[in-house]
Structure 1
């Protein structure tokens, strides 16, 4: 897309959909409005997801009879003026399976984004967290601006189809102008349709919502599992409310020390590493690799495909054409998880024959588009939260100056990730900070997991999060694997370490390595 910085963390939820059809804070006091902290949630059977949540069917009961329940929590629209009106925050839960005597409390999840719906994400991943459910109610939510929680609205589905086909790697001044015009048009639509909400979707606001949620759920401490952008949200929470941290896990860690430019450059390196690993894996297969004879041949052929698509798109899912930008999105989506590599091979092979359907399906998953042509509000929410959080506003001059460095980091993805830095051009709300403040002296231990093969949140971010949290807070665990995130990979070493910590309070030795 002209292109929100959505690659920060969206693909965990997007992958589930495909496979399953900042900030400087102030004060750590609890919310004082008695009407909000004392509110009683009315839990009922969950409806089918709303259009902004991505649509689809209501979540099915779990195999052992666990029933999904949904509720709405009231939160201040403006945390600086809590009496100036409220918004609805959508929640989902399934009760602990081990009985009252074993129950610890509520374990709150954020699966990433920013912009991912937790109300749809938690049921999609519930099987992965069955062991944790023995002692916790599993709870998630649509953060403000997302899904059913005062969703940010921008363009309609037809307009988004057009928007997402804009050339994200302009070759001349005219294409640069078209890219910038498309970005500014999208951002103006967000202001027109959701201007009143845009100042109130920062990560600090969502962190305050979580502390209100903790109280309303009846927990003395926050028990939390944050994945990808969810680690940033968790870090900001720990900074604002260090004394309220119970047990928390950060998996697929966003580097809290980087500004948006540094984060994008890190992702360029991360996705290039993932592509290198995919190419080596493909040619090592006993049955052979249908998209290249050597790792370099695989990458060369992909580069040629994208260059050809820049000049002439091929048929995708009718009536849409697979453009260079959408093909790049599809490749990026597949690199988030080793489970998707087989679809990448299939998609590339078909694209070489002139059929772009599979790569387009992957791109649609990344962008929150369902088979009916409807979009969740993943894209607008991602842009709105990111632009409210991030202070820098980059220009075409900034991007062109940085292109050589991005291309050196990733010959295939460098241009795309560099031009994405224009996403907040002419955004209606100023950004809060250059990077989030996650320092949390005095907080309880937080388990921080880095994956050496993670493309979207490169491994180095985990150690930097540990350092930024402060002495004695972050406990680092390394997973030598592929894909975005470690716990849902199924690795037994990671699972055992996380389960022992969350269920029994036993922390692994700092520097533990799982492979």
Structure 2
């Protein structure tokens, strides 16, 4: 079901104490399978596949440099390194600087889990032009994502219906229907992708990154992880602390929380972001078109959502804007302050009976393009989360937690609480309560937290620093809005991150950027 705590597009996770210990006895060096010596066949990138979101092939970078794509072979099952392989789709832009100044490859993971790095890196490529002066910029579709044997569940028409469902039930009949829909979705994932879903845990992706490091010819892994990418980076640092080079964690997942605790933290985070939006709108010189006071803005939103439960309004034809779609659309708009103007416009339209803008925002959350095609971001998201997260929650348990979630967020509490059912009847057991990111002996990792982050609340940055261990995590605070910090364009944040990645200059712990 759509749920920003599941898109760690949003970001919550738990990876693999159990799997970590189980695989520790296995060879973490894939030399046995002769995969470290594989030569990558770099070619011009094709247009993104439907599972990656579709669209045109990536445009050349300023100066005419082309994006190149390749496929790396990795063991499907890292416990059987000589067994079947899986293809990991890669993309790169070669360094623009002098060869003698080149540091190596800088590997990006933009989060999700389920986000395609092959499509996301070119979309933000210009933002990393300075970093490209000393690095090849590299990203990838993690296993189960996009072209890396992307998990398949339902088709586009079925997903349209699935994301329209009532995801916030009010009675036993509605709860039964929701559980049935989730079970059908999860059964479809097993039916269509049963071979890959046992092998999409965060520990598997971390081992893929270490193979990637070797195949790319780097002694150390230089890394830029955003949102869920910070969890992936933390798990990598735990498994391979001596191989960590210069690493940035931005928009930081709290590695100490299980999936319930993470969902509750996100309820608080999205509520904070909505509060900040309401204050911003009503503090401007011109009138706020969606309310005169912050309280009125939120009250009108609450009434809209309640009304939509029984009477949806026209959305993107032929679909209607339901309560669930409107809630996910509002959540999507809070990921960036740049989207707040679209939220305002969408609310104004919705109050007049037109739900198109809020539905387009909801579609963006769910990976649906204008042609009605879905990427596999939600399918992969569920698959990774359910492989990582050990807890399995029941409807009765969720109901017992509703008062706590509603207290954390009147607008998003029910939405995030019921989202805890996402792994109902999942075919693969979850690995652990939460990931192990302890990394004694690792090089310094710059951990950047945003005080207004809705999806990965600010407190997670401090928890990550503590969990990485003494002398590893270095905390940097950005007093801003939206998810993540570097892409806000804040000069202080960019200066600190660029200074570390390009020159090895570690900022003073506790630095605050405003």
Query: Which 10-residue stretch deviates more, 235-244 or 126-135?
Result: 126-135
Report the counterpart of residue 326 of structure 1 in structure 2: 325
Q: Distance in 2 between matches of 1:185 and 1:353?
A: 35
Root mean square deviation, CA, Å: 1.1
Report the counterpart of residue 9 of structure 2 in structure 1: 9
Report the counterpart of residue 302 of structure 2 in structure 1: 303
How do 1:406-485 and structure 2 match up within 5 A? Answer: 406-485=405-484
Q: Distance in 1 between matches of 2:65 and 2:223?
A: 20
How do 1:39-438 and structure 2 match up within 5 A? Answer: 39-438=38-437
Once the two structures are superposed, residues 438-469 of structure 1 have per-residue CA deviations (whole angstroms, 9 ceiling, x without a partner) of 00000000000000000000000000000000
Q: Distance in 2 between matches of 1:358 and 1:513?
A: 36
1:421 deviation in Å?
A: 0.2
Report the counterpart of residue 37 of structure 2 in structure 1: 38
The answer to whether the 8 Å contact 1:2/1:179 transfers is: no
Please state if 1:23 is matched with 2:10.
no
Q: Distance in 2 between matches of 1:460 and 1:409?
A: 15
Q: Distance in 2 between matches of 1:462 and 1:4?
A: 19
1:31 deviation in Å?
A: 2.4
1:34 deviation in Å?
A: 5.0
Q: Distance in 2 between matches of 1:402 and 1:343?
A: 32
1:128 deviation in Å?
A: 1.1
Q: Distance in 2 between matches of 1:370 and 1:34?
A: 39
The answer to whether the 8 Å contact 1:239/1:438 transfers is: yes
Q: Distance in 2 between matches of 1:326 and 1:193?
A: 26
The answer to whether the 8 Å contact 1:48/1:58 transfers is: yes
1:3 deviation in Å?
A: 4.7
SS in structure 1 of the partner of residue 50 of structure 2: coil
Cα pair distance change 1:260/1:436, threshold 3 Å: same
Q: Distance in 2 between matches of 1:34 and 1:321?
A: 52
SS in structure 2 of the partner of residue 33 of structure 1: helix
SS in structure 1 of the partner of residue 449 of structure 2: strand
SS in structure 1 of the partner of residue 154 of structure 2: coil
Q: Distance in 1 between matches of 2:82 and 2:377?
A: 29
The answer to whether the 8 Å contact 2:4/2:328 transfers is: no
The answer to whether the 8 Å contact 2:28/2:207 transfers is: no
1:6 deviation in Å?
A: 2.4
- Unpaired runs of 5+ residues, structure 1, are 12-21
Once the two structures are superposed, residues 389-444 of structure 1 have per-residue CA deviations (whole angstroms, 9 ceiling, x without a partner) of 00000000110010000000000100000000000000000000000000000000
Q: Distance in 1 between matches of 2:240 and 2:8?
A: 24
How do 1:487-498 and structure 2 match up within 5 A? Answer: 487-498=486-497
The answer to whether the 8 Å contact 2:449/2:461 transfers is: yes
Q: Distance in 1 between matches of 2:128 and 2:432?
A: 34
The answer to whether the 8 Å contact 1:10/1:366 transfers is: no
Once the two structures are superposed, residues 335-355 of structure 1 have per-residue CA deviations (whole angstroms, 9 ceiling, x without a partner) of 010000000000000000000
1:142 deviation in Å?
A: 0.0
Q: Distance in 2 between matches of 1:374 and 1:33?
A: 40
Cα pair distance change 1:257/1:10, threshold 3 Å: closer
Once the two structures are superposed, residues 340-375 of structure 1 have per-residue CA deviations (whole angstroms, 9 ceiling, x without a partner) of 000000000000000000001100111000000000
TM-score (norm 1): 0.97
1:82 deviation in Å?
A: 1.1
Q: Distance in 1 between matches of 2:372 and 2:2?
A: 19
1:286 deviation in Å?
A: 1.7
Q: Distance in 1 between matches of 2:359 and 2:350?
A: 10
Cα pair distance change 1:63/1:339, threshold 3 Å: same
Q: Distance in 2 between matches of 1:196 and 1:224?
A: 29
Report the counterpart of residue 16 of structure 1 in structure 2: none
The answer to whether the 8 Å contact 2:47/2:55 transfers is: yes
The answer to whether the 8 Å contact 2:105/2:138 transfers is: yes
Cα pair distance change 1:110/1:514, threshold 3 Å: same
The answer to whether the 8 Å contact 1:92/1:140 transfers is: yes
The answer to whether the 8 Å contact 2:3/2:328 transfers is: no
Once the two structures are superposed, residues 284-315 of structure 1 have per-residue CA deviations (whole angstroms, 9 ceiling, x without a partner) of 12221100010000000000000000010000
Q: Distance in 1 between matches of 2:8 and 2:146?
A: 18
